[in-house]
Structure 1
């Protein structure tokens, strides 16, 4: 089923019950994006905690590689932002 067909069917069903589905759809999208954002923030915090716990036990070469990867990541982000 294409999105246009789905939109037609939903608008017909909403018309039967005199119900405007736009605010509900917008609300569901906002709630979904908020959940995704919270999961991403939680994953970042979890990763940082795991990294800081592992940092004292990390060999020097692994630490240097981690710093190089972090530096390259920040450079790429800095190039892509403008």
Structure 2
């Protein structure tokens, strides 16, 4: 009788939600006044303060900026 209803999908059949990017914080929270960056995670105060409200795309942009800073040796 319920042939017209779609069968429930198993959880395994559904794509897993993408994980939100993790904070780059390494619990070494000291600001370098000259560089205006945290010496531990290499983020600016704006990036640190905004992290929890950032979209996943914004978080990925911060992570890319951090990676570039690391590469440049900042």
- Pairwise TM-score range, normalised by the shorter structure: 0.3 to 0.5
Judging by fraction of residues, say which structure has more strand: 2
Higher RCO (CA-CA < 8 Å; seq separation 6+) = 2
Judging by fraction of residues, say which structure has more helix: 1
Give the TM-score normalised by the residue count of structure 2.
Answer: 0.37
Give the TM-score normalised by the residue count of structure 1.
Answer: 0.34
